[in-house]
Amino acid sequence: MPCSQQVAADTGSDMIKYALVCAADHEFEGWFSGSDAFDDQKARGLVECPICGITDVSKQIMAPSVRTSGEKSGRMPSKPNSDSTPTPEDFARMAGKVREHIASTHDYVGDRFADEARSMFYGEQEHRPVWGETTAEEAKSLVEEGVPAAPLPTPFAPKPPVKPKDVN
């Protein structure tokens, strides 16, 4: 399961706990959806001391703690999606670009990939970008020989241009 969690300010699920103090120095705690929510509720007289009941209440100076678990930041939960986690749509778009790029700039050499990569590496033929298939064993020995070949994750692999006509 992905452990990223969307944080939104006004769902009521992500509250900031404030340590509060009333004019008579009673200390207590209150949950608010943000600093603005506290100010707003205080202005409307909705924040009252549970001990003496007065509404002259202010925040104690301290860092608020955020109840949402799993997030490192204790700061304002204001920007949704500011993390770099790409959405599935982003990923699909990116993968599509990579596929296009490879298909248009790399020669498909099929299962001759290991031979091709190796002979280029050893200067037996001019270097050109290729892609193709190889076995896990071959891939491993290519890496061990220092041949600059990298596995292409499935989403990034173009369709092998074997058929002249493609039903896309």
Site residues for Zn ion, window 3-42 (CB under 5 A)?
22, 24, 26
Query: Which DSSP string corresponds to the chain?
Result: --------SSSSSS-EEEEEEETT--EEEEEESSHHHHHHHHHTT----TTT--S-EEE-SS--EE--TT-S--S----TT-SSPPPHHHHHHHHHHHHHHHHHHSEEEETTHHHHHHHHHTTSS----EEE---HHHHHHHHHHT-------GGGPPPPTTSSS---
Cβ nearer to Zn ion, comparing 38 with 113:
38
Residue 43 binds to Zn ion (criterion: CB under 5 A): no
Among 46, 51, 143, 150, binds Zn ion (CB under 5 A): 51
Residue 57 binds to Zn ion (criterion: CB under 5 A): no
How many residues of this chain interact with Zn ion, rule: CB under 5 A? 6
Residue 52 binds to Zn ion (criterion: CB under 5 A): yes
Give the binding site for Zn ion (CB under 5 A). Answer: 22, 24, 26, 49, 51-52
